[in-house]
Every structure is written in C-alpha cells, then in structure tokens.
Amino acid sequence: MFTGKTVVITGAAQGIGRSIALMYASQHANIVLADMNPLGNQVADEIGKQAIFVQTDVRKPDQIIKLMEKAVEHSGKIDILINNAGKFAPVSPYEATVDEWDDIINTNLRSVFLCSREAAKYMKGNGGRIVSIASTRAFMSESNTEAYAATKGGIIALTHALARSLGSDGINVNCISPGWIETGDYNALSELDHAQHLARRVGKPKDIAQACLYLTHPLNDFITGQNVTIDGGMTKKMIYEE
C-alpha cells in the first residue's frame, strides 16, 4: 500500500528515525531522509536508489523549505511526513539560559509546525499524512526537563490544531507518544527495566515505526487529530515509591 509513496522523515540518521525509514523502504516507498548528522548518507545507501539524504538543520526555516523542494524533485510529490527530529538536553530551571530554551523549542516544536506547513503545501489537494513524534514526557516528567516536556506537550496540541486546519485539504495529522524506546544496546537492559512495563519489555524503535505505518495507511483515513501512546503500558502501571 506504500509503493510509490514519498515519505519525508526528519531525524532519520539513527535511532527511531532510521527504523522508520527502513520500515517504509521495506514497503517500497520513496524515502527522503533529513538530519544534521551525515550518517544519514549511510542510511540512504543502505536503502538504495529509492532514498536520498538531505542534510537539514530543522531549526532553520530556509533549510526546511529546501528539504521539501528536494523531496519533490526526487519523486514529484510528498505523501507522508514524519516529524521525528528532536533533542533532549536536561538542565536545571534555575540555570537554563534563554538560548538553551530556544534551542530545544526550535528543534523539537517549531520545526514540527514549519515542516508540516511546508509539506502540506505539496500535499494540498492530493491528501496526505503527517505524523509527529511526541513523548510520554508530555504528561509525566523527570527533574530538569522543562523545555523538553513543553515541546512534547506542544506537539500534541499542535497535532489537533493542524488536523482541524488541514482536514479540509484531505490531510490527516496525528502524533505518537513513545515511552522508553531503547536505541542503544538492548541486550544490556535488566529484568527490572523490562518489568516496569505491562508488556514485560522495553520498547524498540520498530514499535514506533510500525505505528507510523498504521497511522499513514491509506485505509486508516478516519484517524486524525489523535495522540497514540506507545509505551508498553508503562504509564499505566502504578509504582509505589518510598
């Protein structure tokens, strides 16, 4: 169902973004990988001729515009956008500078709006799907993560607002809130790590990639404006602390 579709994925050089790119590639989609990290070239090479890498700093509006132009040059259209780019940099609220705050906001949240807007210009009239990666940090926190939490909560609100604004153009907009998704050495996790989840395991990047496929499947056009939490039940498990 994704053969010939063009998918733009930000933050695609590694981790969840890389897994999403490989998942869509396995479904014969055309892949446009965007990332600041030049490792994106390796992912494009791994996928083959159906993929291109566009080195992109999503904090910079002109580079976002160029990204979408390159995507259309590559395959003539944009069908799906996955807003995955983001950064996590904990800092005490007593010490955080305005520049540090703005860096997180512009990377994680403003980029979602700008990428969605620019992609929607090409989707308009032809339908389209936008999925943004939020986080369970939107509704639960650790210390010193104010900027990150604000961006992830903002993505959820932005999702339903965009779904309302873009719906008349046939564009569906949803987001996913991952819980603990291990992008490092999965075998190094402990039994206690896995036991924190009702699913009895820590998540893997492919769990999020598979959800992206579901939300962007052509037959699932009745799902829009939604946040889908994928955390193995971690946020539903009551854990008592002393």
- Whichever domain contains 11, its CATH number is 3.40.50.720
Establish if 242 belongs to a structural domain: no
pLDDT in tens, 35-88: 999 999 999 999 999 999 999 999 999 999 999 999 999 999 999 999 999 999
DSSP 132-190: EE--GGGT---TT-HHHHHHHHHHHHHHHHHHHHHGGGTEEEEEEEE--B--S-GGG--
pLDDT in tens, 121-177: 999 988 899 999 999 999 999 999 999 999 999 999 999 999 999 999 999 999 999
Active-site position among 94, 148, 186, 214: 148
Q: What domain count does the chain have?
A: 1
Q: How much is the mean pLDDT over the chain?
A: 96
| 19 contacts 209 by C-beta, under 8 angstroms | yes
- Per the structure, the complete domain to which residue 173 belongs is given by 6-236
Q: How many helices (DSSP H) and strands (DSSP E) are in the chain?
A: 8, 7
Pair of tokens at residue 42: 């390796």
Average pLDDT over residues 169-195: 95
pLDDT the model gives residue 242: 41
For residue 107, report the phi and psi dihedrals to the nearest 5 degrees: -75, -45
In whole angstroms, give the CA distance from residue 202 to residue 234: 9
* Residue 148 annotated in active site: yes
Establish if 1 belongs to a structural domain: no
| Rg value, the chain, Cα | 17
Percentage of residues in the chain with pLDDT exceeding 90?
95
Establish if 165 belongs to a structural domain: yes
pLDDT the model gives residue 212: 98
Residue 207 is classified by DSSP as H
In whole angstroms, give the CA distance from residue 198 to residue 192: 12
pLDDT the model gives residue 241: 52
For residue 135, report the phi and psi dihedrals to the nearest 5 degrees: -175, 155
In whole angstroms, give the CA distance from residue 200 to residue 16: 20
pLDDT at 236 over 50: yes
In whole angstroms, give the CA distance from residue 132 to residue 207: 15
Establish if 241 belongs to a structural domain: no
Pair of tokens at residue 33: 């990988």
Average pLDDT over residues 85-107: 97
